[in-house]
């Protein structure tokens, strides 16, 4: 009996092991999967979404590591902080790798590299220049508000008790916050915190070899295969104090491409695309309201407007600039229906100023293009000129409404008795009178209209010189 029970237990154990081996994911079975996430170009909301989804997928597939390949000039600080938070909370080790040769991890890329569990660079790459972009910078051509030496001497002479200017205070606040962030990341990963602060305050940069000597990165790798060989056997600390001994020498490499949502976000969160979507949406609704029943302008305009507002909501928008754009469009619409020229010029000025002020930050890859602003303003000017030209031609042309519009029209005699009768003119039957006798079917000309009665006369006969026959 005991022998039978032992046999049944052994059989059940074997079946359970077989089933678990068949149902377990490939990554969990060998635990040697290296996933690659490529960040190329400016860092924005689409990049943050891409990295977040990739780290979630890596955790579900029990990957050994995630290689975060960086080649970026920087980007939005909000998106950068989202990526850093996801990297710090990741249950899978993240290896930051600046590659290929010639790539760089500037500005936001430097902070992200500091946050990764292992930092590496390819030969011929660089990182740094992590100074925060000034918020609300002056418009081009305006004098700089930075105090010169004479101003500083005056402050010392007055006792130095003057309050710092708002611009300087905001710059210092943003810089100190960035310094605190990069120093905390450096202390967490055991990297050079002093150089990180220098990169923020002085926009310092380092090559790959200099970064390795300064303890800013952990290693230099020629390619990803070399990277996996060098980090094999290292121990990293994950969130919650968990440690992981890496086994990456024979890890299978696989790239994670952005999903359609991330690709779609990358398109619409481009400031120029968001700007154009908003304008198309507004004018689509205007055309729909001016010509009810067209349907297509209203549907397309609503979709574009919602997409544009969604994209602007994800970008650092200056609402004063947005208000100026809306004011300019409103003035241009009023100009189209009630031409005054002044409203049109004011609308164009308000629109251009609002477009320049629309974004608070001019981060790399998130600038509103001057050609886009110029082309849009030119289109508005062209529309105003077309409207004004049409109105001018309408004023100079013949009157199409009222009693005066009937003068000169042809009319067909329906019936006539002595000096009055009925005629067919302008698609309607009219009462008519005249000084001559006419026959039914004869075509006459309307000379005047008095109390809804047409005054008709015979059509003048053109001479040969006037283009007719005698």
What residue has token string 């590659």?
A: 99
* Mean pLDDT over the full length of the chain: 79
Distance of CA 284 to CAs 277, 377, 381, Å? 10, 17, 18
Give 165 or 354, the one with higher predicted confidence. 354
Grouping H, G, I as helix, E, B as strand and the rest as coil, residue 346 is helix
462 — pLDDT class (breaks 50, 70, 90):
low
**pTM for this entry:** 0.65
Task: List the one residue out of 185, 206, 218 whose CA is nearest residue 129.
Answer: 206
**Cβ atoms of residues 359 and 271 within 8 Å:** yes
- Counting beta carbons within 10 angstroms of the beta carbon of residue 13, is it exposed (0 to 12), middle (13 to 18) or buried (19 or more)? exposed
The phi, psi pair for 77, rounded to 5°, reads -65, -35
The CATH architecture that domain 24-136+167-262 belongs to is Alpha-Beta Complex (3.90)
Using N-to-C axis directions, what is the helix angle for 342-357 and 370-396, rounded to 10°?
170
The answer to whether the peptide bond before residue 137 is cis (omega within 30 degrees of 0) is no
Give the number of other CB atoms < 10 A from CB of residue 375: 12
- Please determine, for residue 192, whether its predicted confidence score (pLDDT) is greater than 50: yes
- In tens, the pLDDT along 303-352 reads 988 888 888 777 777 788 888 888 888 887 777 667 777 777 888 888 88
User: Tell me, what's the pLDDT at 138?
Assistant: 39
- Please determine, for residue 277, whether its predicted confidence score (pLDDT) is greater than 50: yes
User: Tell me, what's the pLDDT at 190?
Assistant: 92
User: Tell me, what's the pLDDT at 181?
Assistant: 93
29 — pLDDT class (breaks 50, 70, 90):
very low
**Cβ atoms of residues 13 and 207 within 8 Å:** no
For residues 454 and 449, give the distance between their C-alpha atoms in angstroms, rounded to a whole number: 4
- Counting beta carbons within 10 angstroms of the beta carbon of residue 465, is it exposed (0 to 12), middle (13 to 18) or buried (19 or more)? exposed
* Range with lowest mean pLDDT among 9-18, 38-47, 89-98, 313-322: 9-18
In 100-242, at which residue ranges do the beta strands (DSSP E only) sit?
A: 104-106, 118-121, 126-128, 205-207, 219-220, 235-237
For residues 326 and 452, give the distance between their C-alpha atoms in angstroms, rounded to a whole number: 48
Using only the alpha carbons of the chain, give its radius of gyration. Answer: 38
Give 110 or 404, the one with higher predicted confidence. 110
- Please determine, for residue 363, whether its predicted confidence score (pLDDT) is greater than 70: no
User: Tell me, what's the pLDDT at 207?
Assistant: 94
Task: List the one residue out of 349, 369, 357 whose CA is nearest residue 276.
Answer: 369
Give 151 or 44, the one with higher predicted confidence. 44
CATH number, span 403-458? 2.40.50.140
Q: Degrees (nearest 5) of the Cα angle 429, 431, 433?
A: 135
């Amino acid at each position: 009996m005991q022998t039978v029970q032992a046999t049944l237990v052994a059989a059940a154990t074997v079946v359970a092991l077989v089933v678990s081996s068949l149902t377990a994911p490939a990554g969990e079975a060998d635990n040697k999967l290296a996933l690659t996430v490529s960040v190329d170009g400016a860092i924005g909301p689409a990049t943050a979404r891409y990295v977040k989804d990739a780290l979630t997928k890596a955790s579900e597939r029990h990957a050994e590591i995630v290689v975060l390949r960086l080649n970026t000039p920087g980007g939005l600080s909000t998106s950068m902080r989202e990526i850093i938070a996801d990297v710090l909370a990741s249950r899978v080790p993240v290896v930051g790798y600046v590659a290929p040769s010639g790539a760089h991890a500037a500005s936001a890329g430097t902070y992200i590299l500091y946050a990764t569990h292992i930092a590496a660079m390819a030969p011929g790459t660089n990182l740094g220049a992590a100074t925060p972009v000034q918020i609300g910078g002056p418009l081009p051509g305006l004098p700089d508000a930075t105090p010169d030496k004479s101003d500083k001497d005056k402050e010392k002479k007055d006792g130095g008790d003057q309050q710092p200017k708002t611009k300087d205070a905001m710059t210092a606040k943003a810089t100190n916050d960035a310094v605190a962030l990069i120093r905390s990341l450096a202390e967490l990963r055991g990297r050079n915190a002093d150089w990180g602060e220098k990169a923020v305050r002085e926009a310092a940069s380092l090559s790959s070899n200099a970064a390795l000597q300064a303890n800013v990165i952990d290693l230099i790798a020629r390619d990803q295969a070399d990277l996996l060989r060098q980090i094999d056997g290292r121990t990293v600390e994950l969130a919650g104090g968990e440690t992981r001994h890496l086994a990456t020498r024979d890890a299978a490499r696989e790239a994670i491409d952005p999903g359609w949502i991330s690709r779609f976000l990358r398109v619409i969160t481009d400031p120029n695309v968001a700007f154009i979507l908003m304008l198309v949406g507004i004018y689509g609704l205007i055309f729909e309201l001016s010509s009810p029943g067209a349907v297509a302008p209203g549907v397309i305009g609503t979709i574009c407007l919602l997409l544009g507002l969604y994209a602007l909501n994800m970008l650092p928008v200056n609402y004063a600039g947005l208000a100026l754009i809306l004011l300019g469009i409103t003035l241009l619409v009023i100009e189209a229906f009630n031409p005054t020229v002044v409203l049109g010029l004011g609308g164009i000025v308000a629109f251009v100023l609002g477009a320049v002020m629309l974004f608070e930050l001019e981060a790399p890859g998130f600038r509103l293009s001057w050609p886009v602003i110029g082309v849009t303003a030119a289109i508005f000017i062209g529309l105003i000129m077309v409207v004004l030209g049409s109105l001018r031609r309408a004023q100079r042309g013949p009157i199409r409404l009222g009693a005066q519009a009937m003068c000169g029209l042809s009319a067909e005699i329906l019936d006539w008795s002595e000096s009055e009768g009925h005629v067919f003119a302008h698609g309607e039957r009219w009462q008519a009178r005249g000084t001559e006798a006419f026959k039914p079917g004869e075509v006459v000309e309307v000379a005047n209209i008095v109390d809804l009665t047409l005054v008709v006369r015979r059509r003048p006969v053109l001479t040969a010189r006037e283009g007719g026959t005698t």
